[in-house]
């Protein structure tokens, strides 16, 4: 069994450092916050009964004094949130301390995917995807943890959400936990550990599928725990479809306590039923992601939600989908491998802003199939060798990413993106480098030679080129023949 990671240690401390009474209180604040975000009727009642808040709390079965958490919801008190004065409202302070710990955990999950010693080429490629995402995706980029693998244990999805950000196909079948399948599963997960070490702990077992569609799902994720040391996160939009199955998953959470699960809430009726079925304490390890129309949250403009958004806009109607360019533009999170165990398929993917080019909000850099664990290992090795150059090859044709706007400067250049600016400068060499890349059509070798002719030291010039590459500023979009798009042999020929 691999050692317990700092990520899991941190997560377990969130629970272990609180008394049972503190956890109970937190669970009830969480229930209040869920109701506040999801339910417009509740928000109206709070507003209309500001002098008698506890009657509203009683009506909704929330056993807390609302006066102690005013900064969480009362307009005139919002300004005290995350200030020293917040201590005057102990329940608000308790909630915000918990949220800070959860945000720290999110960042630790991203770090958990680092594997410089186990697989340097993959690590460098993933770091470039993270930097590009932070630059390209605006506000939602911080919440993406870039797990290195997602496994699908079904084909298609029975839920059929109208807003599905990855446009899941109709359900066809699930992958049962037979002796043969279990052996292959354990072999594949074990191979991820031997290739990527503890980064394999970031894996999870759904994508364009819902865990509730596979009755053997708990057996697969418990295997994952025993092989990697991490129980994968479960996200389901059908938590009541098979309550016994859901409770099995929650029991595994209680047993191993690695990461918060998520229930997607499709309508207010489901929200009410989930609150009725599960106590606040039972849902302490479950985030409710509310997609009902009364919810204050916006959806990612990707997949079917993006299609709906386009048709609503064409009809001159408003929508509840992300409206600002810096808003939520993808639900894809994996920078690594998307594996379907029924098809025995692997895709190398990374998040991107959804667009006509990538409507599902993720790029596909390569795709292949496998039958055995040995073939799986060979497929991944081939993808890494072909698509993850550790430095710029001389024959790569360079251009800046299409979403960046170039501005020449006397001693360098600026690149303007969605809500961010990248500056590179320090002298005429930088300025010339920017001009040559912006002009397009030049290979890395041609640019290096030109800069050396202009007086640059060969080592300085090489470092400069690698720096622009490592920052994720160059076009590496496979649909635009970006860097690493073509297998190495074809690129070299």
Q: Which residues bind ligand SF4 (CB under 6 A)?
A: 157, 159-161, 164, 168, 208, 210, 237
CB nearer ligand SF4, residue 164 or residue 332? 164
Q: Nearest CA to 354 among 367, 363, 345, 365?
A: 363
Work out how close the CB of 161 gets to ligand SF4 at its nearest, in angstroms, rounded to a whole number: 3
CB nearer ligand SF4, residue 145 or residue 236? 236
CB nearer ligand SF4, residue 92 or residue 157? 157
Look at strands 336-340 and 149-152 and give their pairing.
parallel
Cα 246 to chain centroid distance, Å, stands at 23
DSSP state of 163: T
CB nearer ligand SF4, residue 28 or residue 328? 328
Work out how close the CB of 360 gets to ligand SF4 at its nearest, in angstroms, rounded to a whole number: 11
**484: exposed, middle or buried (Cβ count in 10 Å: 0-12, 13-18, 19+):** buried
Work out how close the CB of 331 gets to ligand SF4 at its nearest, in angstroms, rounded to a whole number: 8
Q: Tokens at residue 396, please?
A: 């790569």
Work out how close the CB of 330 gets to ligand SF4 at its nearest, in angstroms, rounded to a whole number: 13
Q: Cα(53)–Cα(69) distance, rounded to whole angstroms?
A: 11
CB nearer ligand SF4, residue 236 or residue 418? 236
Work out how close the CB of 224 gets to ligand SF4 at its nearest, in angstroms, rounded to a whole number: 19
Work out how close the CB of 160 gets to ligand SF4 at its nearest, in angstroms, rounded to a whole number: 5
Q: Which residue has the tokens 């690590």?
A: 123
| Whether the Cβ atoms of residue 243 and residue 270 lie closer than 8 Å to each other | no
CB nearer ligand SF4, residue 164 or residue 464? 164
Q: Cα(68)–Cα(493) distance, rounded to whole angstroms?
A: 69
- Burial string for 221-251 (b: 16+ CB within 10 Å, else e) reads bbbbbebbbbbbbbbbbbbeebeebbebbbe
């Amino acid at each position: 069994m691999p050692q317990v990671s700092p990520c899991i240690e941190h997560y377990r401390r969130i629970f272990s450092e609180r008394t049972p009474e503190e956890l109970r209180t937190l669970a009830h604040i969480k229930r209040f916050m869920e109701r506040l975000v999801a339910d417009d009727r509740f928000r109206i009642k709070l507003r209309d009964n500001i002098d008698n808040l506890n009657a509203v709390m009683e009506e909704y079965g929330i056993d807390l004094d609302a006066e102690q958490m005013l900064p969480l919801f009362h307009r005139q008190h919002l300004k005290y949130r995350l200030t020293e004065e917040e201590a005057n409202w102990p329940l608000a302070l308790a909630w915000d301390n918990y949220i800070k710990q959860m945000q720290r955990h999110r960042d630790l999950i991203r770090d958990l995917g680092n594997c410089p010693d186990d697989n340097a080429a993959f690590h460098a490629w993933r770091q470039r995807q993270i930097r590009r995402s932070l630059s390209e995706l605006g506000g939602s980029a911080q919440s993406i943890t870039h797990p290195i693998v997602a496994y699908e244990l079904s084909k298609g999805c029975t839920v059929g959400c109208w807003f599905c950000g990855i446009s899941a196909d109709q359900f066809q079948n699930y992958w049962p936990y037979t002796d043969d399948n279990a052996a292959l599963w354990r072999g594949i997960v074990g191979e991820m550990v031997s290739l990527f070490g503890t980064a394999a702990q970031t894996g999870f077992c759904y994508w364009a599928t819902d865990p509730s569609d596979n009755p053997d799902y708990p057996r697969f994720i418990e295997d994952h725990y025993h092989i990697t040391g991490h129980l994968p996160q479960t996200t389901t939009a059908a938590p009541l479809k098979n309550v016994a199955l859901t409770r099995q998953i929650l029991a595994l959470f209680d047993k191993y306590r690695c990461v918060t699960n998520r229930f997607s809430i499709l309508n207010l009726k489901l929200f009410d039923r989930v609150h009725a079925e599960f106590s606040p304490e039972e849902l302490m390890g479950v985030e409710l992601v509310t997609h009902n129309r009364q919810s204050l949250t916006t959806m990612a403009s990707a997949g079917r939600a993006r299609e709906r958004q386009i048709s609503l806009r064409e009809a001159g109607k408003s929508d509840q989908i992300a409206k600002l360019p810096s808003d939520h533009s993808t639900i894809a999170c994996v920078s690594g491998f998307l594996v379907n165990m029924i098809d025995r398929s692997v895709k190398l993917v990374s998040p991107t802003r959804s667009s006509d080019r990538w409507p599902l909000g993720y790029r596909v850099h390569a795709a292949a199939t496998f039958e055995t664990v040995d073939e799986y290992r060979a497929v991944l090795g081939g993808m890494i060798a072909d698509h993850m150059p550790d430095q710029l090859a001389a024959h790569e044709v360079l251009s800046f990413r299409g979403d960046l706007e170039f501005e020449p400067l006397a001693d360098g250049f600026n690149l303007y993106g969605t809500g961010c600016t990248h500056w590179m400068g320090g002298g005429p060499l930088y300025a010339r480098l920017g001009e040559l890349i912006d002009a397009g059509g030049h290979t890395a070798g041609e640019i290096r030679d030109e800069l050396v002719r202009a007086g640059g030291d060969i080592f300085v010039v090489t470092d400069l080129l690698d720096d622009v590459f490592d920052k994720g500023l160059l076009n590496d979009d496979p649909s635009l023949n970006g860097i690493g798009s073509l297998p190495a042999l074809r690129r070299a020929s």
